[in-house]
Amino acid sequence: MGQAAAATATGSEALWWNPALVARGPREVSLGFVSNVQLPASDVTLAAVYPVPKVVTFALSLRYISNGEQDVTNDASGTQVGALVPRTTTAAASFAAPFGDRLSVGVSFKLLAVSFDCTGQCNTPSSTPLTGAIDFGGQYIFTKDSLVALGLAVRNLGLPLQVNDSPQSDDLPSRVDLGIAVSPRFASAPGAHVTVAGDFVSRLGSERGSGFRVGGEVSWLSQYFGRAGYVVNGPNGSGPTFGLGIAHGKWRVDFAQFLSDFGGEIGSKPTYLSLRYLF
């Protein structure tokens, strides 16, 4: 759906977009995998969501990213002296609660660790760089049948990541996401469901421009899903997206591709696969 997720994301995937969206979700465990993103060589996510109905939802998630092997060269001669594999691991604990039938809020506490696996000669930190971040989110449903929903999330608020020293520390990619979703009903086709969504994304403390995301989903009998959208100025570029999903029993399987302009430059297309099990 063009990553228009601030008001629409469902299940454990909502944890990374807007933690408030799991307040009314089901119990589930999930596995997500991303390949061919501009920088990471692999991106794997595990999550578990456990709601106490009408009270609070608890969730744990873990994201592992490997940036692939990178050559280390001698500055003077330009010859290769080693190989380096940077990896990042993010662990998060999330809490979300509904307030009445329309409002929900959520928060995630995240810990980021960076490691460097090296063969040969590498200049790596003596200890594992660590930092923490907090996400806040909210959702408001304007009509009783969930026809229109508004989502707001502030993500990655925290201290800079210090690898070498304070002057060289890296600011976290803090963002504000504002999204709206509209789901019209069709009396002539009660088994069909349509959602149209749009997000506005502003980067905090960055000179880069704002981002926009638009997308839609068509489903039949809440079992078969088709999705499409467009990303403007996202972290991995701009371009169209498309995806398919299927729900069978307690299983949910979703697949998507992002035809980003970054991907075109390196001959790859970011590909997403998620497996969810409801219990």
Q: What is the per-residue pLDDT for 234? A: 87
Q: For the chain, what are the domain ranges?
A: 11-70+85-278
Residue pair 180/150 in contact (Cβ under 8 Å)? The answer is yes
- Note the pLDDT of residue 236: 80
Output the pTM of the full model. Answer: 0.87
pLDDT score, position 68: 78
Q: What is the pLDDT of residue 145?
A: 66
Of the options 2.40.160.60, 3.40.50.970, 3.30.70.890, 3.40.718.10, the CATH number for the domain spanning 11-70+85-278? 2.40.160.60
Question: Which segments of 156-273 does DSSP mark as H helices, in order?
Answer: 261-266
C-beta separation of 116 from 143 below 8 A: no
Tell me if residue 21 falls in helix, strand or coil: helix
Say how many CA atoms lie within 13 Å of 263 toward its Cβ: 19
Low-confidence ranges of the chain (pLDDT < 50): none
> How far is Cα 82 from Cα 72, in angstroms, rounded to an integer?
5
User: For 6-54, how does the pLDDT look when each residue is reduced to its tens digit (9 = 90+)?
Assistant: 999 989 989 999 999 999 999 999 999 988 765 557 899 999 999 999 9
pLDDT at 73: 78
